[in-house]
Amino acid sequence: MKTLKNIVLSFCIAASMAAVATSAMAETDAGRVTYQPAQAIDLVAGKIQVAIDGIGKGVSGDEAAALIKQASDLSKEINANDKVDIGRSKANKKLKSAITHAKASALPEAEQELKEAKKDFEALKSLI
């Protein structure tokens, strides 16, 4: 009887894990656009370039922070493997630093952080 309880308990645990496993439900929501990792990296680099160009044209600190935030939000779409995710998080720290500089109206420092972040994001392609 004790063995039977262990078998039933093991079966219940396995069934519950399979029922809520994220890989079993990994599909795109209706209306949501998904990108290939290389395509997402290109989009983020493009958003960063838009922010750099905006700073060069003389936008305010809050506008620059909003442009950088768009790139930061889009970077969450980069999803390939663990190495890419680690590199993405390091590059994202530079974007967050650029947002902080932009909000403090230190736009030259924000622009430098953005240039470094763009290089880091473009380097992620070699990790795919």
DSSP letter string over 69-120?
HHHHHHGGG--S-HHHHHHHHHHHHHHHHHHHHHHTT-HHHHHHHHHHHHHH
> Could you read off the pLDDT of 8-43 as tens digits, one per residue?
888 878 877 766 655 555 555 566 667 788 899 999
What total of structural domains would you count in the chain?
1
In a domain, 18, yes or no: no
Is residue 34 within 8 A of residue 77, CB to CB? The reply is yes
The pLDDT of residue 123 is 92
The CATH number of whichever domain residue 86 belongs to comes to 1.20.120
Range of the domain at 123: 34-127
pTM listed for this prediction: 0.73
In a domain, 22, yes or no: no
